[in-house]
Amino acid sequence: MNRKYRKTIIAGNWKMNMLPSQVKPFADELKAVSPRAKWCETVICAPFVDLPAAIKAFKELRISVGAENLNENEKGAYTGEVAANMLVDLGVKYVIIGHSERRQYYGETDFSVNKKVHAALEAGLQPIVCVGESLEEREMGITLERINLQVKAALSGVSAEKMRRVVIAYEPIWAIGTGKTATTEQAEEVCKLVRDTVRVIYNDETAEALRVQYGGSVNAGNAAELFAQPDIDGGLVGGASLKAEFGVVATA
């Protein structure tokens, strides 16, 4: 990454794991093994029920807390959903939008992702927008075209000023939870494309300020090499964020 323009951001995505009662013991364990790195921002994205406990437990560690999803509507008759302003009221700073599991299992589309991005930004949240190709799309040789479209769709109507609060995470679908990781070259190629796409939509300044993460079986063993690439500014970490080794990833 280029620290002249950007600060590393490591975000853990707990998915549907971790009980509220387990959050404080985990925070204590993380504190014991994880030195604070001033050049790195660390985020834990937790299930809705864990958010209050996470905000309290991670405050001392200076770890920001994020949600894993939100509804695009401000309020209304949407049983079971959570609005952006509800997250802000709790003290949540970040929110993951468009994760491949949301797209695959819950029918989220490029268009619904765009609506959620606008809802998050309007409320003052910082969205971590996920993009990524399937194995079939990579084998067909259309990875770059697919990512380009996802980025353009997600950011449609977002001003350059609001882009300062957006993080984009490249997560190849075929590498999530499989133990497979894109090669350093593959990850850098797509993250550079993400930045170049933003450059075309906006300008050089916005593109250079954008933080682009890589996600997909990131762990303590491969983090340092991935994060050393010029266009990879950190990681969106899944399974490893549930263990104390997350602290090692965050300081890689």
CATH number, domain of 239, equals: 3.20.20.70
* Residue pair 242/22 in contact by the 8 Å Cβ criterion: no
Number of domains in the chain: 1
169 φ/ψ angles, rounded to the nearest 5 degrees: -110, 120
68 is catalytic: no
Per-residue pLDDT tens over the stretch 100-126:
999 999 999 999 999 999 999 999 999
Catalytic option among 101, 171, 188, 245: 171
Per-residue pLDDT tens over the stretch 160-169:
999 999 999 9
168 bridge partner residues? 129, 212
Q: What number of helices (H) and strands (E) belong to the chain?
A: 11, 8
- Amino acid type, 189: E
Please check whether residue 51 lies inside any domain of the structure: yes
99 is catalytic: yes
Catalytic option among 41, 72, 99, 245: 99
Query: Is 127's pLDDT higher than 90?
Result: yes
Please check whether residue 180 lies inside any domain of the structure: yes
Rg (CA), the chain: 17
- Can you give the residue range of the structural domain that contains 57? 8-249
* Residue pair 155/117 in contact by the 8 Å Cβ criterion: yes
Please check whether residue 2 lies inside any domain of the structure: no
Please check whether residue 210 lies inside any domain of the structure: yes
Per-residue pLDDT tens over the stretch 199-208:
999 999 999 9
Please check whether residue 181 lies inside any domain of the structure: yes
Per-residue pLDDT tens over the stretch 212-233:
999 988 888 888 999 999 999 9
Please check whether residue 55 lies inside any domain of the structure: yes
Q: CA of 114: how far to CAs of 36, 101, 196, 231, in Å?
A: 34, 16, 19, 23
Please check whether residue 110 lies inside any domain of the structure: yes
The more confident residue out of 144 and 246 is 144
Please check whether residue 3 lies inside any domain of the structure: no
